[in-house]
Amino acid sequence: MINKIRFIFITCIALCTIAGVASAQSSDDSVLVDLKTVDPELLPYFPRWIVTEPNLQLQVYQTFILDGRDKRNLDMNDIIVTCAPFKDPVNPVYNILLIECGKERMVASEIDAKMRKLSYKISDPKRPYAYRDIPKSTPPSSAVSDAILDYMNTPTNVTHAISASAFEQTLKLGKTDFWLQSVVGTEGSGYTFFAPGEAKVLLRRPLYVNPDPESRPAIPNLINFHIGFGYRLTDTSNGLLSFIPERRLNAGRGGKGVFGFDLHAPFHPQFGVSFHIEVPMASIDSTKTIDMPTYAMYTRTGFDGRDMQIAPLIRTTGYAAVFYNWWVDPEVPENFFRFDLGVNYTDIRETVVIGNPLSNRYLQPNSNNGIGLYHPVEFTDWLYAKIEYRNQKNFPFGISMQYSNNFLLSRVYLPLLGDWLYLDARYAYSTISDERARPFDVSTFMLSPVVRFNF
Q: Would you give the distance in Å from CA 82 to the centre of its chain? A: 27
* 8 A C-beta contact, residue 280 and residue 258: no
Give which of 7, 35, 15 is closest to 334, Cα–Cα.
35
What lies within 8 Å, CB to CB, of 89 at 6+ separation is 3
Q: What is the pLDDT of residue 126?
A: 86
pLDDT of residue 173: 76
Alpha-carbon distances of 271 from 11, 28, 132, 215, 322, rounded to whole Å: 33, 15, 41, 12, 8
Q: How far apart are CA 249 and CA 36, in angstroms?
A: 43
Q: Which residues pair with 261 in a beta bridge?
A: 225, 275
Q: How many helices (H) and strands (E) does the chain have?
A: 6, 24
Question: By the 8 A CB rule, do 297 and 310 touch?
Answer: yes
Cα separations (Å) of 337 from 58, 173, 332, 387, 401?
42, 29, 14, 7, 12
The Cα–Cα gap between 341 and 203 comes to 25
Phi and psi, residue 58, nearest 5°: -65, -40
Q: What is the DSSP letter of 124?
A: -
Task: Give the 3-state secondary structure of residue 54.
Answer: helix
Q: How far apart are CA 15 and CA 35, in angstroms?
A: 23
Residue-by-residue pLDDT tens, the chain, 455 positions:
444 434 433 343 333 322 332 333 333 333 223 323 454 455 556 788 999 888 999 999 999 999 999 988 898 888 999 888 777 767 777 888 889 998 898 888 889 889 988 999 998 888 889 888 887 656 566 555 554 444 334 444 456 778 899 999 988 877 677 889 999 999 999 999 999 999 999 999 989 888 887 777 678 789 999 999 999 999 888 777 777 888 889 999 999 999 999 999 999 989 999 999 999 999 998 888 888 889 999 988 887 778 888 999 999 999 999 999 888 876 656 678 899 999 999 999 999 988 876 667 888 887 776 788 899 999 999 999 999 998 766 567 889 999 999 999 999 998 888 667 889 999 999 998 877 888 888 899 999 999 987 66
